[in-house]
Structure 1
C-alpha cells in the first residue's frame, strides 16, 4: 500500500492534537509535547544560509510532506476530507504561494546564489566559499540532541593537522601555511564517551533540550504564541480568540515528521498562520512591508559601533530606485556575512521587529515562556551569535562572536601508558601509537605532546593574526538592488553598465558611509524585500554626508574605465 512507503523516509514523527475551526478552515491551536517545542525553538539557531539550503532542497520535494498524512490514523484523515474536493486548487495555490512569498526570503536567495558563483579568483581559498554556503550552527551540540533535528549541516567536530608545522584546522581540505595538506586526522580524546550514539541522543532528548521534561505538553497557537497546556489556559485563550461555542471546533490527531517540519519552517518565515498553512495545506497570507519601514525602524536605535564603509550608490531619478552599488571588498564581505547570522540574532538586532512572517512571535514565545518550563539553554536562542571563524571581523553590526574554544590544543602520535619494568622494579612511560595521532586540550593525555596553532581560511596566508574576510583584496564589485553580486574585471564594468539599460542622464551617484544604522536597515530589508538597496538605503541617500569632500576623493572605477581606450582585437 502507498501508506507504507513514507515510513522509511520519516521514521520519526511527533503526535500533535490539532484543534480545527471547520467553518474557517483554520488551525486554532495544537497541543504538542516538548519534542515539538524544542524543534520549533531550534529554528532561531539556524543561520540564513542553512535555511536557504534546507528549503531549496525541500522545495524539490513538494509532494513529500503530504505522504505522512496518508499513514496517520483515521481521526487525522477526517478533517482533511472536506478539503479533498478542492485539493487540486490547494495544490496549485501552494506552489504559487511558495513562489510569490518565497521561503528563500527577500534577497537572501539571490545573495546565496551569488556566493555559489564565486570563482577561485574571488576568494582566498575554497573553504571561504563553503563557510558562507554551510555556516556552522552556534547551537550545534544542543540541536544534535533534538528528537527531530532538521539541520543537516555536517558536524565539524573533526580536526585536521599538519604534522610538519604543528598547525590545525576544523575545515577539511584547507592546506597549511607551508603549502602541505592538513592530512592528519587525529582522534579527539576530549570527545571520548561523548559520541552521538543513539542511546545518548535519545536520553538527552527525553530530558529536554530547550524545554524541561516535566512540562510535557504545550499549547501552540496559529501565530506561534506558546503557553504551557492547562484547562484554565485553554479556556482563557479560546475566549480571547472569540470561540465561545466549541461546537464549531474539531479535535484531530496529526503525526508530524521531518518533511512537514521543513514546510513549517517555510511558513514560519512567510506567513502569519504557519500551522494552518502546514497542516491544512492552505496558501500563505503574506503581509507586504513598506519599502521605507526598515530605515525608520532602526533610526531610533542607539548605535554602538564606529565601523563605517564607504559605498557608491547609483540611483534612477525617474524610478526613485537604487540600481546598484559600486563597492570594494569590505562591503561585499559584510553583505555575504548575512548568510552566517542565525534567526535569533537577527531578531535581537532588530529589537523584535524583523517583519519576517511569524518569526517575531516565535522569538517572543521563547523569551516569555516561564523559566520553570525551560532549560538554561533557552537563553542561547535569544542571541545565538556567530562562531568566530564564520563571521566578518570588521562587522558594523553588534553580533556576538561565539568562541568555539579558547583553549590550546595539543597533538601527538600516541598516548602514554605506564608499564612495569622488571629490571628496575618500577613503572616507566611508553607510547601507545594511534593511527592518525591524537589531539586534546589536556597535555597530559598525549605522549610527547606539542602545542598546535590554529589556521584561519579568511586570511591570505591562513594566519589567525591576518584575518581580513572571505574575498580577496583588492577587488571591485557591483551589488544590485536584489543583492546579486558580481566581481568587476577591467573589461566587464562597461558591459555591466550597458546591461542595466538605464539612460545615463537618469542616473545620479552618491557616496554614503555604511555604519551601524545603515547596516541594520540593509539587513532588515534583505530579509523581506527584493529591493534591498532601495528599501534599506533610500532614506539615507538624501542625508547630507558629513565629509562633503569625500565624494571628490572617491574615484569610481567605472569612471576610470570609461576614459580608457578599448583594446583592439
Structure 2
C-alpha cells in the first residue's frame, strides 16, 4: 500500500455513555482507531513524552519528569559527546515500526522523517562501508562530511490497515481494554459497571483527530477513565495513578536476567541530614549515559519486558494485555506485527554499553535496496559510550542534568539555606533493581531520586544494629571501640548507646536515650525526665543527640551536651 497524507483526516468513533453519570461505558472502533491506539507501544519514551509535553489540553498536568531529562539532552554541551551525531541519535530513537507510521490514520509521532547520508568519497562508497542518519557526520575512513543523501525504500505488502485486521471492529473500554466486538463482551462490560437499565445509556459519535489522540494518550497516563475525559471535557479525571507493587516487576525482570553478572553503575547522593531532604546527586559519564538511555526505551518494552505489565499506569497495562491476548489471523494481521507492538525493536543497532536494561536491538542495520550495501556508522567510542570520559555531572531530583560545578553546588546550598555540616553523602551501586526504581519514579513524579532511592536509604539509616545482629532488648549497646576518645585514663574506651526497644517497635527498632563515651564501670546518668539510667563508664560524656542511630553504627550531628559524671 502507499502512504498518503492523513493529517486532517478524522476518525469517527461511536461511544456508549451513561447520560446521568456523564461516563463513557465503551467505544465501538474500527481498525483505524485501534491501529493508532496500539501504535503508541512502539514509541520510544523520549518521543512519547516530547509529544505529550505539546498537548493542547492544559488541564492535563505534566507526567513525571522525563521531559526535563529530554530538555537536558537538548541543551547538553556537544563537547562532552564522543561523536557529532550522538545527540541527534539519542533525541530521535526509532523502532522497527517507524516505517509503518505513515500508514496510520493518525501518526502522533512528530519526529522528522529519517534521512540517510553517505560519504562523497568514491573509495568510501563500497560494500560494507558506512552510512549515517545525521547530515555532516564525519566519515570514519577519510574524515569528510557525510552529506550525500541516499534513499531507503519501504513498501508495506499489506493493505488498508496496519496492525489489526482491516474489517474487524473492536470494543474499547473506558480503561483502554480492547476486545473484539461481540455482544456478550459488551453486555458483560456494562453489567460489570453496575448499569443494568439500558434507558440510561445513549450512543454518541465523536470525531477523533491527531490532537484528540494525544489528549487520550496523556489522559491514559493520569487517570483510569481516559475516554470519559476525552468526551466530557469538563469532567476531571477520577482515580489518579495507581501504585502497584513494583517489587513484582523487579522480581520478574531479575529472574530472567542475571543481575549479579551485569554491569553496576555508581551514583553519589547528597541529602540534608537534619531533614532527610534530597539535595543533588553526582554522577560520572557512565551513569548519565544510562540515564539518557531512558529516552530510547520503547513503551512496549517498558510495560512488558521491564515491568511485566505492572506499571503505575493501569490503562497502559490494560492496553498491553489486550494486544498480548489478541489472536493472530482473526484479529492481528501477523505474528511479526504483534511482536512489533509488544516486543518493539530499536532500529539502530548501537546501544550504549551502559544501558543495563535488556533492550531488543538488531545485529546489524543496512540500507535496503541500495547498492553497494552500506551499514550504520557506529556513533560511539571504542568503549561503547556516547559521553566522553572522564566527566562528572550534577543531577537534580527532577532530572535536570548539567556538568558538575563546585560553585553551582555552593550556590544551590546557599539558596536552600543548608549548612555545609548538615550535608551527608552516600555512594549507591546501581543495578537493574535500582535502575528500575529510578525509571519508575521518573515516570510518575518530580522527585526521582527521593522516591526511587533515598526513601529506602533513609529507612536503613534509621535502623539500629548491634554489631552484626538486631537489638533484642532495651539496654546499653557498644557502637565504637578500640580507640581512645578523649578519656583521661589509659583503659580502652567505647562509645555506647542507650536504647529502648519497645513492644511496638518490632524487628529490633529502638528509640535512643543517650550516647555515652566512657569505660566499663557503671555510670548513673540523669535523664531528661530526671529518671536514673545506669550505663557503662566512669568519666563518660553523655549527650542526647538529635539524630536517629545509623545503620550498623551511630553518627553524631549537632548533638547537645547533656552533662558529665
Q: TM-score, normalised by structure 1?
A: 0.71
Q: Which is worse superposed, 10-19 or 333-342?
A: 10-19
Query: Is the contact between residue 223 and residue 241 of structure 2 (CA under 8 Å) also seen in structure 1?
Result: no
Q: CA deviation at 1:227?
A: 1.0
Contact 1:27 1:222 in 2 (8 A): yes
**Per chain length, whose mean CA-contact separation is higher, i.e. which structure has more relative contact order (CA < 8 Å, sep 6+)?**
1
Change (3 A) 1:20 1:107: same
Equivalences for 1:91-240 in 2 at 5 Å? 95=58, 97-99=59-61, 102=62, 105-156=63-114, 158-163=116-121, 164-166=123-125, 167-177=130-140, 178-188=142-152, 191=153, 194=154, 204=158, 206=160, 208-214=161-167, 216-240=168-192
Q: After superposition, where does 1:437-476 map in structure 2 within 5 Å?
A: 440=369, 446=371, 452=374, 454-459=376-381, 466=382, 468-476=384-392
Task: Tell me by how many angstroms 1:127 deviates.
Answer: 2.4
Deviation at 1:453, TM superposition (A): 5.8
**How far did residue 500 of structure 1 move?**
4.8
The worse-fitting range, judged by mean Cα deviation, of 50-59 and 361-370 is: 50-59
**Quick one: which of 515, 530, 534 aligns to 2:450?**
534
Shift of 1:320: 2.9
Q: Distance in 1 between matches of 2:286 and 2:201?
A: 55
Cα distance in 1 for partners of 2:435, 2:159 equals 38
Post-superposition offset of 1:401: 1.8
* Offset, 1:107: 1.6
Residues 485 and 500 from structure 1, CA distance in 2 versus in 1: closer, same or farther, beyond 3 angstroms? farther
For structure 1, list consecutive stretches of 5 or more residues without a partner in the other structure: 1-7, 63-94, 410-438, 460-465, 545-569
1:19 maps to which residue? 16
Shift of 1:12: 0.9
1:323 maps to what in 2?
Answer: 279
> Unaligned 5+ residue runs, structure 2?
462-565
Q: In 2, distance between residues paired with 1:265 and 1:533?
A: 26
Work out the CA distance in 2 between the residues paired with 1:384 and 1:10: 25
Cα distance between partner residues in 1 of 2:439 and 2:35: 27
Secondary structure of 1:20's counterpart equals: strand
Cα distance in structure 2, aligned partners of 1:262 and 1:469: 34
The answer as to 2:6 corresponding to 1:48 is no
Aligned-partner SS, 1:185: strand
Q: Matches of 2:106 and 2:293 in 1, distance apart?
A: 28
Q: In structure 1, what is the Cα distance between the partners aligned to 2:348 and 2:413?
A: 37
Q: Which has the greater radius of gyration?
A: 2
Question: Quick one: which of 485, 489, 514 aligns to 2:401?
Answer: 485
Is this contact kept in 1: 2:69–2:400, CA < 8 A? yes
Would you say the 8 A contact 1:294–1:522 is kept in 2?
A: no
Note the C-alpha offset of 1:119. Answer: 1.7
Aligned-residue offset at 1:39:
0.5
In structure 2, the CA distance between the partners of 1:512 and 1:492, relative to structure 1 (3 Å rule), is: same
Between the aligned partners of 1:524 and 1:353, the Cα distance in structure 2 is: 11
* 1:517 lines up with 2:433 in the alignment: yes
Task: Report the 3-state secondary structure (helix = DSSP H, G, I; strand = E; otherwise coil) of the residue aligned with 1:512.
Answer: strand
**What is the Cα deviation at residue 467 of structure 1?**
5.2
Residue 158 of structure 1: CA displacement?
2.5
Secondary structure at the residue paired with 2:103?
coil
Change (3 A) 1:9 1:526: same
1:243 aligned to which of 195, 206, 210: 195
SS at match of 1:513: strand
- Tell me how far 1:389 sits from its aligned partner: 4.5
Alignment of 1:300-379 (within 5 A): 301-302=254-255, 303-305=257-259, 306-348=262-304, 349-356=306-313, 358-371=315-328, 372-375=330-333, 376=335, 377-379=337-339
Q: Deviations over 1:78-119 (max 9, x none)?
A: xxxxxxxxxxxxxxxxx3x423xx2xx212111112112212
Count of aligned pairs between the two proteins: 441
Query: Which of the residues 251, 275, 286 maps onto 2:227?
Result: 275
CA 1:296–1:176: 2 relative to 1, 3 Å: same
- Indicate if the aligned counterparts of 1:162 and 1:176 stay in contact, CA closer than 8 A: no
- The 2-side partners of 1:394 and 1:165 are apart by 30
For residues 390-405 of structure 1, the aligned pairs below 5 Å read 391-403=351-363, 405=365
Q: Is the 8 A contact 1:388 1:403 kept in 2?
A: no
Distance 1:224 1:382, change over 3 A: same
CA distance in 1 between partners of 2:345 and 2:272 (Å): 37
Q: CA RMSD in A?
A: 2.7
Cα distance, 1:478–1:124 mapped onto 2, change above 3 Å:
same
Which residue of 195, 204, 212 corresponds with 1:260?
A: 212
2:285–2:391: 8 Å Cα contact kept in structure 1?
yes
Of the structure 1 ranges 495-504 and 374-383, higher mean CA displacement relative to structure 2 is found in: 495-504
Q: 2:262 aligned with 1:298, yes or no?
A: no
Alpha-carbon contact 2:82-2:387 (below 8 Å) kept: yes
Confirm or deny: 8 A CA contact 1:272 1:285 kept in the other structure. Answer: yes
Cα separation, 2, equivalents of 1:209 and 1:304: 36
Separation in 2, partners of 1:241, 1:225: 14
SS at match of 1:130: helix
Q: 1:289, 1:528 within 8 Å by CA — same for their partners in 2?
A: no
Contact 1:525 1:531 in 2 (8 A): yes
Q: Give TM-score, length-normalised by structure 2.
A: 0.72
